[in-house]
Chain A
Amino acid sequence: MDIWVSILLTIATAATPLLIAAIGELVAERAGVLNLGVEGMMIMGAVGGFGAGYLTGSPWIGVLAAIIIGVLFSLLFAFMTLTLATNQVATGLSLTILGLGLSGMLGTSFVGLPGQRLPNLDIPGLTSLPVVGRLLFGQDPIFYLSIALVVAVTWFLFRSRKGLTMRAIGDSHTSAHALGISVIRYRYLAVMFGGACAGLAGAHLSLVYTPQWVENMSAGRGWIALALVVFASWRPWRVLAGAYIFGAIWIGQLHVQAIDLSSFANSSWLIYQPIALVKSLPSQFLSSLPYLATIVVLVLISRNKRLTMMNTPASLAQPFVPER
């Protein structure tokens, strides 16, 4: 049983940064802004979180700093694309490239330093419960935050007036503008929220996942988060599911590689055969499984044109200039 708990915990740790970054991007995209700079904001959050945590000795200040840096970095993007109405795709890409380079430069002096780790939750009596104890009451604080974010964003988008307005802006910024809604202001806030989430995801990397700073440590997770948003057809709960499926496939294939097939010799063929089959696949294929899954889902989703149209924010990635 212990091994299953441990596997689930590992999956949660792998899924959390993807989930947080994706939920932030989801809000920005729901408001009609495509920010391809998630990777850049995430890595800036990671270096900022590590640095602040290291210098102050408090990982909590690190988390806070990561969020602030994520917001500041996203403001750069917001100013370019919203105020100056530059192309969102190009600006987002350059934000990622800038973030990767800048974080490497800022982080030079942090390389090789052992960092702070955000402590796991520990509630006397509850955390030590068998099986559920560590899963429900013994994880890192950012994990709980990620779940809370999904709940909060769902409520905001689909149950609140402001959320409705935001979705309206994402679908038709000209109509929203005609109704007297401040499109730019909403979009600024949405992008900043995305930045805060990406920064927090970065903090998870450098303060929980692997408490250290190394250049390029986000290793493409920002891009996976972007894919997850499309994968989830812009729905928060599907982002949650997507992030965990992604994590589960990834961790699962590691375990299958490490598993000793002979220890299953006495199990029924229902268990033995699938494991034997997966184990016989090349590891390169297994490593690419989460990405293949994304492509398959994207293909399946896009088969139904009407459904795709309904879900995609209609004015996504289109620059908006109020005067027009």
Chain B
Amino acid sequence: MRKRLIGLMTAAAALALTAPVQAQEKFKACWIYVGSIGDFGFSFQHDQGRLEVEKEFGDKVETAYLENVSEGPDAARSFERMARDGCKIIFGTSFGFMDAELEVAKKFPDVKFEHATGFKTSENMGVYNIRFYEGRYVSGQIAAKQSKAGVAGYIVSFPIPEVVMGINSFMLGAQSVNPDFKLKIVWINSWFDPGKEADAAKALFDQGADIIVQHTDSTAPLQIAQERGLHGFGQAADMAKFAPQAQLTAVVNNWGPYYVSRVKAAMDGDWKAESLWEGFKDNIIYMAPYTNVPDEVATEAEATVEKIKGGWNPFTGPVAKQDGSEWLKEGEVADDQTLLGMNFYVKGIDDKLPQ
């Protein structure tokens, strides 16, 4: 037993010696995904970004990824493994990796860390995020125009600020068209479970919604919409081919250009830990083609996108909180800090926010 152990240790040492040699030849960039790259949603889109990095730099980079990494303290092992494997820059792509990633970042000061959708940073850990809510505002407007019942169903995962922000923005978009618009919200407490997402979609349609929105990652809800001859929005990716008659549009996450620029900065030695929160104007999200909607709805949606690109924020007052108290005064714009910690609904949403 002892002999074997020593043998193993020698092998490990040999590996450790050879690893840096390889790393000198190529710049290694690594990704950690919460889901599988086959989810055709959130993680899939991140992986498309990784492939863009490979395409851009060719032989100069080497990429690696780990998928299906659980959120929470356990994720630290995965980050540590990546850091030890010679990764020079590591992208952690889910909110729940935040603390684990920060902890590992402290241990490896020479490795650059980037964390998506979080808010904690350090010397060598930056955060990046998409203003998803900009896209959801546009979806909300379209939903209110296209819904006959005036009711949309919203399938959600976990009550984190990101998700709450999305619900609020969608509702504000819908209210800008129809002040009495109603939203039915169902929490399924999972990011990815096609079966549960389909069940939730059926329940929402049964309860009278005729448009479905989701903040979960599979295409199942849209497929149910298609089966019932109703409509919905794609999530993270253009899901039109799953539901060609049902998808109205999708808010598409376009991480590629961002990843390319960050990997380039790291290769050139210009990388700094930053907090970036980009939206339509940076082309990190865009709306998928508007389908199954009249032309004028598509035109108006595009106009809203342009307005947001021009600097207008969907969270511009007057906006009241759910209980009717004032949140934003006329013309007042929500600051990023409030948005990133959002834990309340806006007026008109009939649901109790799980705490």
Among residues of A, the one whose C-beta sits closest to the C-beta of B221 is A210
Binds B, one of A6-14, A63-71, A177-185: A6-14
CB-defined contacts of A6 to chain B, threshold 8 Å = 202, 206
**Interface membership of A98, Cβ < 8 A:** no
Are B198 and A282 closer than 8 Å at their CB atoms? no
Which of B13-21, B183-191, B303-311 interfaces with chain A? B183-191
Residue among B195, B197, B351 with the highest chain A CB neighbour number at 10 A: B195
Residue B290 at the chain A interface, CB threshold 8 Å: no
Q: Does B203 lie within 8 Å of A216, measured CB to CB?
A: no
Distance of A310 Cα from B37 Cα, bound (Å): 47
Tell me, yes or no, whether B4 is within 8 Å of chain A by CB: no
Interface size class of B (residues with CB under 8 A): 35 or more
Do residues B195 and A205 form an inter-chain contact, with CB atoms below 8 A? Answer: yes
Q: Contact at A219–B202, with CB atoms within 8 Å?
A: no
Q: Does A3 lie within 8 Å of B206, measured CB to CB?
A: yes
- Chain A residues with Cβ below 8 Å from B220 are 210, 212
CB distance from A202 to the nearest CB of B (A): 12
A112 to B238, CA, bound (A): 10
Contacts of B350 in A (CB 8 A): 260-262
In the bound complex, how far is the Cα of B184 from the Cα of A257, in angstroms?
8
Chain B, Cβ-Cβ closest to A220: B193
**Residues of B contacting A14 in the complex (Cβ-Cβ under 8 angstroms):** 195, 199
Are A260 and B184 in contact (CB-based, < 8 A)?
A: yes
* Residues in B178-237 with C-beta less than 8 Å from chain A: 182, 184-190, 192-200, 202-204, 206-207, 209, 218-220, 223
Which residues of A177-217 are within 8 A (CB) of B?
A: 205, 209-217
Whether A219 touches B36, Cβ cut-off 8 Å, given contacts A212-B242, A257-B187, is no
Considering the complex, give the chain A residue whose CB is closest to the CB of B228: A6
Output the nearest chain A residue to B187 by Cβ-Cβ distance: A283
Q: Does B241 contact A (CB under 8 A)?
A: yes
Asked if A162 is at the interface of the complex by the 8 Å CB criterion, the answer is no
Measured CB to CB, the nearest residue on chain A to B188 is A287
Query: Which residues of chain A have C-beta atoms less than 8 A from B184's C-beta?
Result: 258, 260
A214→B68 CA distance, assembly (Å): 13
B223 in complex: contacting residue of A17, A211, A284, CB < 8 Å: A211
- A207 to B206 Cα, complex, angstroms: 22
Known: A107-B38, A254-B200. A284 touches B206 (CB 8 A): no
Residues in A with CB closer than 8 Å to B192 are 214, 216, 219
Q: Is B354 close to A, CB under 8 A? A: yes
Q: Is A114 part of the binding interface, using a Cβ–Cβ cutoff of 8 Å?
A: yes
CB atoms of A254 and B199 under 8 A apart: yes
Given contacts A210-B194, A287-B189, contact A215 B203 (CB under 8 A): no
Q: For the complex, what is the distance from the CA of A257 to the CA of B156, rounded to whole Å? A: 11
A255 within 8 A of B: yes
For the A-B complex, the count of residue pairs with Cβ-Cβ distances under 8 Å equals 117
Are B188 and A210 in touch, CB under 8 angstroms? no
Scoring A residues 220 to 251 as 1 if CB is less than 8 Å from chain B, else 0, what string do you get? 01000000000000000000000000000011
**CB atoms of A112 and B40 under 8 A apart:** yes
Q: How far is the CA of A254 from the CA of B202 in the complex (A)?
A: 9
B173 touches A (CB below 8 Å): no
Instruction: Find B203's partner among A205, A209, A254, A287 (CB 8 Å cutoff).
Output: A254
Chain B residue, CB-CB nearest to A217: B194
* Known contacts A112-B241, A216-B36; A209/B206 CB under 8 A: no
Given A254-B186, A258-B207: A219 and B242 within 8 A (CB)?
Answer: no
In the assembled complex, B107 has its CB within 8 A of some CB on chain A: no
Shortest beta-carbon distance, B142 to chain A, in Å?
A: 21
Q: CA–CA, A257 to B204, complex, Å?
A: 9
Tell which of A111, A210, A279 touches B195, judged by Cβ atoms closer than 8 Å.
A210
Complex Cα distance A17/B194, Å?
14
Chain A proximity mask over B235-268: 1 for CB below 8 Å, otherwise 0: 0000001100000000000000000000000000
Q: Is B39 an interface residue (CB 8 A)?
A: yes
Residue of A nearest to B159 (CB): A283
Instruction: Assess whether A108 is interfacial by the CB under 8 Å rule.
Output: yes
Across the interface, do A216 and B189 meet the contact criterion of CB distance under 8 Å? no
Partner of A219, one of B182, B196, B204: B196
Q: Write out the residue numbers on chain A whose beta carbons fall within 8 Å of the beta carbon of B203.
A: 7, 10, 251, 254-255, 257-258
B209 closest partner in A (C-beta)? A258
Contact A251 B199 (CB under 8 A): yes
Q: What separation, in Å, do the CA atoms of A104 and B38 have in the docked complex?
A: 8
CB-defined contacts of A17 to chain B, threshold 8 Å? 195
Decide if A219 touches B195 in the complex (CB within 8 Å): yes
In the complex, the answer to whether A284 meets B354 with C-beta atoms within 8 Å is yes
Given A260-B184, A287-B187, A219–B193 Cβ distance below 8 Å? Answer: yes
- Among B153, B185, B203: residue with most chain A CB under 10 A: B203
B91 CB → nearest A CB, Å: 20
| A14-B199, A282-B354 known; A212 vs B194 contact (CB < 8 Å) | yes
Q: Is the CB of B241 within 8 A of A209?
A: no
Q: A112 — which chain B residues lie within 8 A by C-beta? A: 40, 44, 241
CB distance from B42 to the nearest CB of A (A): 12
Residues of chain B contacted by A148 (CB below 8 angstroms): none
- Give bound CA distance, A112 to B219, whole Å: 9
Q: B40 contacts which chain A residues (CB < 8 A)? A: 111-112, 214
A280 at the interface (CB under 8 A from B): yes
Q: Contact between A283 and B354 (Cβ–Cβ < 8 Å)? A: yes
Is B2 positioned at the interface, with any CB of A under 8 Å from its CB?
Answer: no
Residues of A close to B193: CB separation below 8 A: 219
Further contacts, 10 of them, CB under 8 A, given A6-B206, A7-B206, A257-B187 = A10-B202, A210-B218, A215-B39, A219-B192, A219-B194, A251-B199, A260-B207, A261-B350, A282-B354, A283-B354
> Can you list 19 A-B pairs with a CB-CB distance of less than 8 A?
A10-B199, A10-B202, A111-B40, A114-B241, A114-B242, A211-B223, A212-B242, A213-B38, A214-B39, A215-B38, A216-B36, A217-B194, A219-B194, A255-B203, A255-B206, A282-B354, A282-B355, A283-B189, A287-B187
Q: Considering the complex of A and B, which 6 residue pairs feature the smallest CB-CB distances, nearest first? A: A283-B187, A215-B36, A254-B203, A210-B194, A215-B38, A111-B38
